């Protein structure tokens, strides 16, 4: 430990910093890390009042009162509702009050109340920056697309890492743990996959196969960062890994040294995708939901424009995006609702959209199905056709 870290642990920088440092040091010891590493940015998940409860809220408030301040720029994941549309979302008053107190405590500690799961679209992070991020899709994007280094931390750990400004130097913070051990080859179904647009399903398949390992992914055509985030979010739902090395995308591939013939090679065929789709074959009359991860401003504009050009939405379309993506956008398309600050997974979707949904998000399909929703997983193209009344 550096002298500064020792001083923090001894309480020189206050009680809150000492608690935070103690947590990080203990996690480091137990995970076998040799030392801590300073982080440049933190992203905290698990801030929904419904999940952390009155006691979690009091804990955050007591940290703030004890003078806890985030040592690095810190953003937060979506919460239980859209701060400006809680009436339409039919949120309980108790949840509203509790959630606002949670956000207030985080704000007092210095967080930017971004309420977004796509901090990588808005925060300045670069190749080989060490981060303390929770939220699996954000972790996968930071590591796999930016080449930054973060473990897939839990929400509470990321909170303490943000206060201490340190993370255990272990896992994906170390170059040697970023080397792949599997090669997942989509080449054989490359054109069919591209034509079908089944990015979410491809991500779910990848996650199931890769598990906690790092994979090199070949033969996958992802057009832009929006498709990449849709894919990676699904990987994070079925797999516990925090890094996927995608050819043509991941900067680590220019950097890491490994020999390809030592990798275990797995060739994907179409049946893997159909097996995934069969898990999410849904029910009849469903509301279309998209924006998991949160839509970028460009995506949102593209979708609204497409729907308009095709005669408007005949079926209800519910979209989720960051406040930063929604700000200033004109949203008056009939049958299309856009929510910010929250998402389909952490809000109580059934209250305002029913229990039967169709989505293009592999991650949302996975989590909503596990919460008992009837879910159909389709491509973005199919989803939009469904909304404007073309096809089933």
Of the candidates 2, 6, 26, 221, which one interacts with other proteins according to CB under 8 A? 26
Contacts of other proteins in 64-83 (CB under 8 A)? none
User: Residue 238 to residues 200, 365, 381: CA-CA distances in angstroms?
Assistant: 11, 11, 23
Provide the β-strand partners of residue 374: 356
The answer to whether residue 111 forms part of the interface with other proteins (CB under 8 A) is no
Provide the β-strand partners of residue 246: 217
In angstroms, give the least distance from the CB of 200 to other proteins.
22
The answer to whether residue 11 forms part of the interface with other proteins (CB under 8 A) is no
Q: Quick one: how far is CA 164 from the chain centroid?
A: 23
What is the CA angle 49-375-213, rounded to 5? 75
The answer to whether residue 219 forms part of the interface with other proteins (CB under 8 A) is no
Give 4-12 contacts, CB < 8 A, sequence gap 24+: 5/36, 5/164, 5/166, 8/164
Q: Which stretch binds other proteins (CB under 8 A): 149-157, 177-185, 267-275, 376-384?
A: 149-157
Q: Which stretch binds other proteins (CB under 8 A): 98-106, 147-155, 180-188, 323-331?
A: 147-155
Of the candidates 9, 16, 19, 286, which one interacts with other proteins according to CB under 8 A? 19
In angstroms, give the least distance from the CB of 30 to other proteins.
4
Q: Which of 255, 19, 254, 243 is nearest to 151 (CA)?
A: 243
Q: Which of 68, 231, 324, 37 is nearest to 153 (CA)?
A: 37
Taking residue 260's Cβ as centre, other Cβ atoms within 10 Å add up to 10
Of the candidates 7, 23, 169, 179, which one interacts with other proteins according to CB under 8 A? 23
| Cβ-based nearer residue to other proteins, 16 or 198 | 16
The answer to whether residue 22 forms part of the interface with other proteins (CB under 8 A) is yes
For residue 215, is the peptide bond before it cis, meaning its omega torsion is within 30 degrees of 0?
A: no
Q: Which of 119, 98, 121, 145 is nearest to 42 (CA)?
A: 119
Please work out the total of residues on this chain that contact other proteins, with binding judged by CB under 8 A: 24
HSE-CB for 20 with a 13 A CA cutoff: 33
Q: Which stretch binds other proteins (CB under 8 A): 151-159, 202-210, 217-225, 247-255?
A: 151-159
In angstroms, give the least distance from the CB of 180 to other proteins.
24
Q: Report residue 367 as tokens.
A: 């989590």
Of the candidates 2, 6, 10, 30, which one interacts with other proteins according to CB under 8 A? 30
The answer to whether residue 313 forms part of the interface with other proteins (CB under 8 A) is no
In angstroms, give the least distance from the CB of 156 to other proteins.
4
Three-state DSSP at 178 gives helix
| Cβ-based nearer residue to other proteins, 30 or 331 | 30
DSSP H helical segments within the chain, as ranges?
Answer: 3-9, 15-30, 49-65, 93-108, 136-141, 155-164, 190-196, 199-210, 225-238, 270-279, 297-309, 323-326, 349-353, 362-370, 380-388
User: Residue 296 to residues 111, 229, 344: CA-CA distances in angstroms?
Assistant: 21, 10, 16
Cα–Cα dist 287/317, whole Å? 6
The answer to whether residue 286 forms part of the interface with other proteins (CB under 8 A) is no
Of the candidates 99, 134, 238, 359, which one interacts with other proteins according to CB under 8 A? 134
The answer to whether residue 351 forms part of the interface with other proteins (CB under 8 A) is no
Of the candidates 14, 154, 251, 354, which one interacts with other proteins according to CB under 8 A? 154
Site string for other proteins, 45-64 (x = CB under 8 A): xx----xxxxxx-xx-----
Site string for other proteins, 157-186 (x = CB under 8 A): x--x--------------------------
Of the candidates 79, 119, 147, 155, which one interacts with other proteins according to CB under 8 A? 155
Name the site residues for other proteins (rule: CB under 8 A): 19, 22-23, 26-27, 30-31, 45-46, 51-56, 58-59, 134, 153-157, 160
């Amino acid at each position: 430990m550096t002298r500064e870290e020792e001083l923090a642990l001894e309480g020189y920088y206050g009680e809150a910093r000492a608690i935070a440092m103690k947590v990080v040091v203990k996690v480091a010891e137990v995970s076998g890390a040799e030392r801590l590493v300073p982080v440049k940015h933190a992203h905290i998940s698990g801030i929904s009042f419904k999940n952390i409860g009155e006691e979690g809220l009091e804990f955050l408030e007591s940290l703030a009162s004890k003078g806890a301040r985030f040592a690095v720029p810190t953003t937060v994941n979506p919460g239980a509702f859209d701060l400006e549309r809680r009436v339409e979302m039919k949120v309980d008053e108790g949840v509203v009050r509790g959630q606002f107190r949670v956000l207030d405590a985080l704000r007092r500690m210095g967080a930017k109340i971004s309420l977004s799961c796509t901090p990588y679209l808005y925060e300045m992070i670069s190749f080989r920056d060490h981060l303390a991020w929770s939220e699996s899709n954000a972790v996968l994007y930071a590591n796999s697309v930016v080449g930054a280094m973060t473990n897939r931390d839990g929400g509470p750990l990321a909170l303490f890492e943000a206060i201490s400004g340190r993370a255990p130097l272990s896992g994906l913070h170390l170059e040697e743990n970023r080397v792949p051990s599997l090669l997942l080859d989509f080449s054989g179904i490359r054109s069919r996959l591209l034509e079908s647009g089944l990015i979410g399903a491809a991500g779910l398949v990848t996650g199931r196969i890769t598990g906690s390992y790092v994979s090199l992914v070949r033969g996958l055509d992802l057009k832009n960062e929006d498709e990449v985030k849709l894919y990676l979010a699904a990987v994070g739902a079925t797999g516990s890994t925090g890094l996927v090395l995608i050819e043509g995308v991941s900067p680590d591939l220019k950097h890491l040294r490994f020999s390809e013939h030592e990798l275990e090679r797995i060739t994907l065929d179409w049946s893997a995708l159909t097996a995934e789709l069969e898990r999410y074959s849904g029910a009849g009359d469903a509301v279309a939901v998209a924006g998991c991860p949160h839509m970028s401003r460009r995506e949102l504009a593209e979708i609204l424009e497409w729907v308009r050009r095709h005669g408007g939405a005949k079926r209800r379309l519910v979209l989720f995006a960051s406040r930063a993506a929604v700000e200033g956008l004109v949203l008056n398309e009939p049958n299309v609702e856009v929510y910010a600050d929250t998402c389909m997974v952490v809000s109580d979707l059934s209250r305002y959209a029913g229990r039967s949904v169709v989505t293009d998000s592999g991650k949302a399909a996975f989590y909503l199905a596990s919460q008992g929703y009837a879910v159909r997983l389709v491509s973005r193209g199919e989803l939009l056709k469904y909304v404007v009344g073309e096809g089933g």
